[in-house]
Amino acid sequence: MSSFRQRALDEFATHKAARFFVEERPVSEFFAQNVFGQEQMKKYLSQQAFEAVTAAIREGKKIDRSIADEVASGMKSWAVEMGATHYTHLFHPLTDSTAEKHESFIDRSKTGEVVENFKGEALVQQEPDASSFPNGGMRSTFEARGYTAWDPSSPAFILDQTLCIPTIFVSYTGEALDMKIPHLKSLEAINKAALNVLELFQNDVASVKVNLGIEQEYFIVDDALYRARPDLQICNRTLIGHTAAKDQQLEDHYFGAIPSRVTCFMKDFETEAYKLGIMLKTRHNEVAPNQFECAPLFCEANLTIDHNLLLMILMKKVAKKHRLKVIFHEKPFMGVNGSGKHCNWSMMTDKGENLLSPGTTPSTNLQFLSIFVSVIKAIYEHHYLMMASVASLNNYYRLGGNEAPPAVMSVFIGSTLDRILDSIENMTSPANEAKAKKERLDIVRLIPEILQDNTDRNRTSPFAFTGNRFEFRAVGSSVNAASSMYILNSIVAQQLNAFRSRVDKYIYEGTEKDEAVMKVIREYIIESKPIRFEGNGYSKEWQQEARKRGLKGIVNVPEAYKAFIDKKTIALFEEVGVLSKREIEAHYEIKNEIYTKKLQIEARVMGDLIINHIIPTAIKFQNSLIENARGIKELFSPEEADIMCEKQIRTIRKISRYINELREDVHDMIAARKEANVITDFTEKAALYTETVLPYMEKIRTNADKLEMIVDDELWPLPKYRELLFCR
């Protein structure tokens, strides 16, 4: 066998379950031990400093510099006692990853000795030499500075002997260079807007928070096999590779017994996650072979995002120990399911009331309905933007396939609520207004009873109501989910504000409050009706139906990105105070650039695979066929030899044809790239890459995969799907 692949398989065979430290204490005893949380703060901070940080967490209050010094000193004492030597500001640049720059605590004392030191300044702000982070033109070189600033609402923690401080990343002129800033601002927008609506129903709510629970899907591949695949290594997905004879068609992997080597890995990273305060709750096999999922208990959205990104770092780190590779790519393998991050989203008051749970009285149900229809209306108004928020090269390969949500937005609410909304819509008899009013209130009173047996589930809907929360399933598995969540928060905030204004208008005109609310609920139901869809979101009929309803689907990625600079979008973000026009334009530019660069890299790796791995292998195999035919001709009469070699010669021809086509396509693809590369306008460049380079990826793959089915298995250089997906 090809020495490369053989070596990888041999190495795999020696990979036994890693020996790892098994934590025997109950989780509650070591949970969050590496986090500078409440308990640690109480121990290491003065009462005053403790209260200042708590107020910053609860109410977003600013922390005084002198207090910051004290907090820094307390944090340092704790961290050094825990064995930390360094500290870092951890931020989320606009690349879907996290960034960090480590500094050690050591300093020279006045008398020249080495001491550990950590000042308030270093805690509060850092100026990373970060001119190479994407900034979409927001930092011209003369103001190339950006700085990170402490986010006290997400607690500091220790990882690898380093004190990690969650921060925002902002340009010298104050523009957001990260995903955390718009996300935090959108959470504030939700808070204000929800309070605005809640005032109609109750008046002792002080704040509203967003709760978020993220289900994270991922693939596991043996590390040795992974290293024998340049495409996996560089692009995190297989660019070529014929599907295995069996993958997920028997549906025997989902919720099946987790392979023991993977269980060891899971236990190990779960333990590390617990120590960092991440409440991992669920683990199971996913639909595709070697695909899995984990999910923590939901918590406040900003923390959930930080935890999710931290979890990804942890999983990658721990996997190394187990000689495994975690793949977060949205579509690493053709023909089997891709991976997502299902974002479970709801809103909660400071009293612990979930605003998406129907209540028990007509008035609490009116409140529920107001919030509920506002979310639906928000999705309707910005359905294309919501879908565009998940658009990326990776997700392009995933959306539309198998279990994945399709690239057109719809909202599923379950048949019970669907009926309730329909009946509210239909309840209008101007002839008998009093009767209609009574009926409406009857319906509202009945909601909790009707809802009790509501166990509907629709996994083909990108945005589904699941009893007390919405689940957005289209978000890609590799991204920072804040990139979609700040948009969701913004559109809902906008719609809640609009809801309140309309109710106020009716009240002003003399309508009694409950009736005014009911009126607006009904209007929202009617106006947003086209977005509601209870059927199969993967069906062809739905694609047609969606078009009829005026719902715009995603055609290609750069086209979708244009939604960001649409007038309506810019107005939205300015209205809710989440992003300025300049920031949106910068984000837009960065999105396009990342897309184009990724595609460029994929195309390069594809060229390398075909020219340097696949074609030479095919030629080797073809030579063995030629040699064999020649031998037959030597031994047998020409007539006999002709009959014997007929099929063989056909195969030799076929291989030549594939090789020629592959060479030609790679050549043309390179030419297309060259042509696109000279274009300076980033929108045009992304569009041209999509139009002229992207189609080659599939075309080339098809021929390479055909060769895989012809060429002697012994010679094939790359680990095959059956190995990648079933070696565990």
Which listed range, 171-179, 208-216, 376-384, 692-700, lies at the site for ligand ADP (CB under 6 A)? 208-216
469 binds ligand ADP (CB under 6 A): yes
> Which two three-digit tokens encode residue 20?
């790892």
* Shortest Cβ 705–Mg ion spacing (Å): 32
> Which two three-digit tokens encode residue 305?
């995002």
* Shortest Cβ 577–Mg ion spacing (Å): 34
Distance from C-alpha of 478 to C-alpha of 396, rounded to nearest angstrom = 13
Q: Which residues contact 503 (CB under 8 A, 6 or more apart)?
A: 200, 513, 516, 517, 520
* Shortest Cβ 88–Mg ion spacing (Å): 32
* Shortest Cβ 491–ligand ADP spacing (Å): 18
Which listed range, 95-103, 211-219, 222-230, 551-559, lies at the site for ligand ADP (CB under 6 A)? 211-219
346 binds ligand ADP (CB under 6 A): yes
Nearest to 106 by CA among 96, 97, 116: 116
Name 341's bridge partners: 216
**Subset of residues 281 to 310 that bind ligand ADP, contact rule: CB under 6 A:** 282, 295-298
429 binds ligand ADP (CB under 6 A): no
- Is the Cα dihedral 348, 352, 358, 362 positive or negative? negative
* Shortest Cβ 464–Mg ion spacing (Å): 13
* Shortest Cβ 217–Mg ion spacing (Å): 9
> Is the CB of residue 215 less than 8 Å from the CB of residue 293?
yes
> Is the CB of residue 210 less than 8 Å from the CB of residue 490?
no
Of 214 and 655, CB closest to Mg ion = 214
* Shortest Cβ 515–ligand ADP spacing (Å): 30
**Subset of residues 254 to 283 that bind ligand ADP, contact rule: CB under 6 A:** 282
Distance from C-alpha of 325 to C-alpha of 569, rounded to nearest angstrom = 39
Q: Report DSSP state, residue 282.
A: E
Of 314 and 334, CB closest to ligand ADP = 314
* Shortest Cβ 466–ligand ADP spacing (Å): 7
Q: Report DSSP state, residue 295.
A: E
Distance from C-alpha of 652 to C-alpha of 629, rounded to nearest angstrom = 10
Distance from C-alpha of 683 to C-alpha of 562, rounded to nearest angstrom = 9
At residue 89, the 3 state secondary structure works out as strand
**Subset of residues 60 to 79 that bind ligand ADP, contact rule: CB under 6 A:** none
* Shortest Cβ 158–ligand ADP spacing (Å): 25
Q: Which does 211 bind (CB under 5 to 8 A by kind): Mg ion, ligand ADP, none?
A: ligand ADP
Q: Which residues contact 80 (CB under 8 A, 6 or more apart)?
A: 105, 116
Which listed range, 211-219, 476-484, 495-503, 663-671, lies at the site for Mg ion (CB under 5 A)? 211-219
405 binds ligand ADP (CB under 6 A): no
Of 251 and 541, CB closest to ligand ADP = 251
Element (H, E) at 628: helix 615-635
Q: Which does 344 bind (CB under 5 to 8 A by kind): ligand ADP, Mg ion, none?
A: ligand ADP
> Which two three-digit tokens encode residue 581?
């026009």
**Subset of residues 529 to 588 that bind ligand ADP, contact rule: CB under 6 A:** none
Of 282 and 429, CB closest to ligand ADP = 282
Nearest to 356 by CA among 371, 373, 340: 371
At residue 256, the 3 state secondary structure works out as coil
Quickly count: other Cβ atoms within 10 Å of residue 282's Cβ.
12
* Shortest Cβ 488–ligand ADP spacing (Å): 12
344 binds ligand ADP (CB under 6 A): yes
> Is the CB of residue 145 less than 8 Å from the CB of residue 129?
no
* Shortest Cβ 680–ligand ADP spacing (Å): 44
Distance from C-alpha of 168 to C-alpha of 148, rounded to nearest angstrom = 5
Q: Which residue is nearest to ligand ADP (CB)?
A: 213
Q: Residue 289, exposed/middle/buried by CB under 10 A (0-12, 13-18, 19+)?
A: buried
Of 217 and 708, CB closest to Mg ion = 217
215 binds Mg ion (CB under 5 A): yes
Q: Which residues contact 639 (CB under 8 A, 6 or more apart)?
A: none
> Is the CB of residue 404 less than 8 Å from the CB of residue 337?
yes
> Is the CB of residue 158 less than 8 Å from the CB of residue 164?
yes
* Shortest Cβ 379–ligand ADP spacing (Å): 17
* Shortest Cβ 215–ligand ADP spacing (Å): 5
Which listed range, 157-165, 245-253, 308-316, 343-351, lies at the site for ligand ADP (CB under 6 A)? 343-351
Q: Which does 469 bind (CB under 5 to 8 A by kind): ligand ADP, Mg ion, none?
A: ligand ADP
Q: Which spans in 636-691 are helix H?
A: 638-677, 682-688
Rg (the chain; Cα; Å): 29
Of 211 and 483, CB closest to ligand ADP = 211
Amino acid at 184: L
Nearest to 100 by CA among 175, 166, 176, 33: 166
Of 337 and 344, CB closest to ligand ADP = 344
Q: How many residues bind Mg ion (CB under 5 A)?
A: 1
100 binds Mg ion (CB under 5 A): no
* Shortest Cβ 469–ligand ADP spacing (Å): 4
Q: Which does 346 bind (CB under 5 to 8 A by kind): ligand ADP, Mg ion, none?
A: ligand ADP
Which residues in 390-423 are b (16+ Cβ under 10 Å) and which e?
A: bbbbbbbbbbbbebbbbbbbbbbbbebbbebbee
Nearest to 337 by CA among 448, 435, 445, 460: 460
> Is the CB of residue 218 less than 8 Å from the CB of residue 328?
yes
Which listed range, 26-34, 210-218, 361-369, 530-538, lies at the site for Mg ion (CB under 5 A)? 210-218
Of 297 and 619, CB closest to ligand ADP = 297
Element (H, E) at 280: strand 280-285
211 binds ligand ADP (CB under 6 A): yes
Q: How many residues bind ligand ADP (CB under 6 A)?
A: 15
Which listed range, 25-33, 66-74, 215-223, 378-386, lies at the site for Mg ion (CB under 5 A)? 215-223
Which listed range, 191-199, 209-217, 559-567, 596-604, lies at the site for ligand ADP (CB under 6 A)? 209-217
Which listed range, 210-218, 490-498, 533-541, 545-553, lies at the site for ligand ADP (CB under 6 A)? 210-218
Place of tokens 């879908």: 387
Q: Which does 536 bind (CB under 5 to 8 A by kind): Mg ion, ligand ADP, none?
A: none
Out of 213, 338, 405, 719, name the contact with ligand ADP by CB under 6 A: 213
468 binds ligand ADP (CB under 6 A): yes
Strands 86-91 and 162-171: parallel
What is the DSSP track for 402-428? Answer: TTSPPSS--EE--HHHHHHHHHHHH--
Out of 117, 354, 511, 556, name the contact with ligand ADP by CB under 6 A: 354
Distance from C-alpha of 506 to C-alpha of 498, rounded to nearest angstrom = 13
* Shortest Cβ 357–ligand ADP spacing (Å): 8
* Shortest Cβ 322–ligand ADP spacing (Å): 23
471 binds Mg ion (CB under 5 A): no
Of 281 and 320, CB closest to Mg ion = 281
Phi/psi for 315 (5° steps) reads -60, -40
Interacting residue ranges for ligand ADP, rule: CB under 6 A: 211-213, 215, 282, 295-298, 344-346, 354, 468-469
Interacting residue ranges for Mg ion, rule: CB under 5 A: 215
